Amino acid sequence: MRSRGFTLLELLITVVIVGILAAIALPSYQKQIQKTRRSDAKSALVGAAGQMERFFTERGTYATATLGTGATAVYPSTTQNGYYALSFANLAATSYKLKATPIGAQAGDPCGAMTYDDQGNKGITGSAPMDQCW
């Protein structure tokens, strides 16, 4: 009569197969998560740009706008989900450039910081192709 259960060899083969599948799937999953989190930066940059235009309409200048909290703050200094820190790369009376720098869990993003200016120009500071980031 044969006993029920698994042999050590069957168990080891199963562990190896699961390990190989995990080694293949985990990097793809992490890459997809980074890509999904970029939408946090995109929406914040476009939202902040809209608020900058409103600020300019009301005050006639971009130069006194700030990020964070306060009377002249046009937008929070971090994105809604906290994966990017917002700042001004350039700020002048008639132009601005917003920058979203990845922080925390998103810090290793190959796109690097994402930028958006008053003319609607988009940019990145990382090594990834532009079309994969925006």
* pLDDT tens-digit readout, 101-113: 999 989 989 999 9
Residue 99 pairs in a beta bridge with 87, 115
Helices within the chain (DSSP H only): 8-59, 130-133
Q: Closest Cα partner for 53 from 66, 63, 62?
A: 62
Q: Which amino acid, one-letter code, is at 112?
A: G
Q: State the pairing for strand pair 66-67/73-75.
A: parallel
Q: Closest Cα partner for 113 from 75, 82, 86?
A: 86
As a whole number, the mean pLDDT across the chain is 91
Whether this prediction's pTM lies above 0.85 is answered by no
Give the pair of three-digit tokens for residue 15.
């562990």
* Confidence band, pLDDT 50/70/90 cuts, at residue 118: very high
